[in-house]
């Protein structure tokens, strides 16, 4: 599917602002979704386009992901000056020491690990990923009935602990002891930077929260300039849509060319 003239006009309008934030999710936007999250790699062209954008005046580029910072940095190959926002906003690559948990949050994660040990016995096909502030249940690749049962059990487990933030996604449920949210993180970063406009691309439920937060930004002028893009199918609050990761690379390259002009 070719880009619409409306999207091209929106790119040109966005690129003309003095200070902009260009942010994207990683999985499903720059890198195809895969069975093992650590096998994920960005498609050709996406990261170089982001790096070139980050070198332009008045342009801040950020990867905003549910992944923890270390694997996000490793798999994306991102380097300064790209900003990495990990763990759904709970980690920031610009902050020394990354994420700090208090005693209650650490105790909550310990109890969660104990319960997830029993969960693994009941759902042996599910995989559990450990993050600094969360545990994530993955079911991608499982038969549909098995996956649905494991995801439902993970959400039920999370609901038993009021201190956990439960975030479902595509074949995943994240159980977080410290959670900010992509939307909150995006608006906070834009405000900190004094950005005139924000571009954000995503593909999942958590990205929909980002699209909604940008539309509801207290800076109403910036909210009206937000350029949001959904990658792939599904209902969305984003203004525009592209088919897949390769179309996303083409979009970023077009944004780079417009910004350079």
pLDDT exceeding 90 applies to what percent of the chain? 83
Average pLDDT over residues 38-66: 96
Would the pLDDT of 1 be above 60? Answer: no
Would the pLDDT of 98 be above 70? Answer: no
pLDDT in the model for residue 88: 87
150-167 pLDDT, tens digit per residue, is: 999 999 999 999 889 999
pLDDT in the model for residue 116: 97
Per-residue confidence at 75, pLDDT binned at 50, 70, 90? very high
Q: What's the CATH number of domain 103-176, 3.40.640.10, 1.10.340.30, 3.30.70.1020, 2.60.40.10?
A: 3.30.70.1020
The span from the CA of 194 to the CA of 94, in Å, is: 17
Place of tokens 């995006």: 186
Active site residues: 25
pLDDT in the model for residue 120: 96
DSSP state of 57: T
Domain spans, the chain: 5-98+180-260, 103-176
**What homologous superfamily does CATH list for 5-98+180-260?**
HAD superfamily/HAD-like (3.40.50.1000)
Residue 201: closest CA among 170, 247, 165, 169: 247
Q: Model-level pTM?
A: 0.81
H-assigned helices in 77-143: 103-122
> How are strands ordered across the β-sheet holding 227-231?
91-92, 83-86, 59-64, 20-24, 197-202, 227-231, 240-242
- Average pLDDT across the chain, whole number: 94
The vertex-205 CA angle with 81 and 117, nearest 5°, equals: 95
Examine residue 103 and say whether the peptide bond preceding it is cis (omega within 30 degrees of 0): no
Q: Is 124:142 a contact under the CB 8 Å cutoff?
A: no
21, 168, 176, 216 from 134: Cα distances, Å: 27, 13, 4, 27
Q: Which sign does the torsion angle of CA 73, 75, 76, 77 carry?
A: positive
Cα 170 to chain centroid, rounded:
12
Residue 14: closest CA among 48, 58, 62, 64: 58
99-128 pLDDT, tens digit per residue, is: 767 889 889 999 999 999 999 999 999 999
């Amino acid at each position: 599917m070719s880009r619409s003239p409306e999207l091209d006009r929106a790119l040109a309008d966005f690129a003309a602002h003095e200070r902009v934030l260009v942010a994207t999710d990683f999985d499903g936007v720059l890198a195809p979704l895969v069975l093992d999250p650590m096998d994920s790699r960005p498609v050709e062209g996406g990261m170089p386009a982001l790096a070139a954008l980050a070198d332009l005046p008045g342009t801040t580029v950020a990867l905003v992901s549910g992944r923890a910072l270390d694997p996000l940095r490793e798999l994306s190959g991102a380097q300064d000056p790209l900003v990495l926002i990990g763990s759904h906003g709970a980690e920031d690559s610009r902050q020394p020491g990354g994420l700090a948990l208090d005693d209650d949050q650490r105790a909550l994660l310990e109890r969660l690990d104990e319960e997830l040990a029993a969960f693994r016995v009941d759902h042996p096909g599910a995989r559990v990923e450990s993050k600094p502030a969360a545990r994530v249940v993955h079911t991608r690749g499982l038969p549909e009935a098995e996956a649905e049962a494991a995801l439902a059990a993970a959400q039920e487990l999370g609901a038993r602990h009021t201190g956990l933030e439960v975030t479902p996604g595509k074949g995943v449920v994240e159980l977080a002891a410290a959670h900010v949210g992509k939307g909150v993180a995006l608006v906070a970063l834009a405000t900190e930077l004094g950005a005139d406009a924000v571009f954000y691309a995503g593909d999942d439920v958590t990205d929909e929260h980002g699209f909604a937060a940008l539309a509801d930004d207290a800076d109403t002028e910036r909210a009206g300039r937000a350029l949001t893009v959904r990658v792939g199918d599904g209902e969305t609050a984003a203004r525009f849509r592209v088919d897949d990761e390769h179309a996303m690379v083409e979009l970023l390259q077009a944004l780079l060319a417009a910004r350079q002009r």
